[in-house]
Amino acid sequence: SNLESRNPASVEICTLLRKPEAAKVDIDCTWVGFDIPNEFVVGYGLDYAEAYRGLKDIGTLARHVYS
């Protein structure tokens, strides 16, 4: 991969939000901001149908909105 071609001393993973219940594979994240429930979240750059991305906070989206 492009990253490997640069010969880094190490590669680590960080994530702001992690949904442990939804994980399909075990990935070792070095840094995790928050473990959250398996719910649809929006805001702070996360969107649904190109909406809610500009919210200054992260929140859950009501199920009836995306069902």
Structural domain of residue 10, as residue ranges? 2-66
Residues 6+ apart with CB under 8 A from 1: none
Tell me what the pLDDT averaged over the chain comes to. 95
The pLDDT confidence band at residue 67, using thresholds 50, 70 and 90, is confident
Average pLDDT over residues 34-60: 97
Q: According to the model, what pLDDT value does residue 3 have?
A: 87
At residue 52, the pLDDT reads 96
Report yes or no: 34 and 17 within 8 Å, Cβ to Cβ.
yes
| Predicted local distance difference test score (pLDDT) of residue 56 | 98
Buried b (16+ CB within 10 A) or exposed e, 35-44: ebeeeebbbb
Note the pLDDT of residue 4: 85
CATH code, domain carrying 8: 3.40.50.2020
- Domains in the chain, number: 1
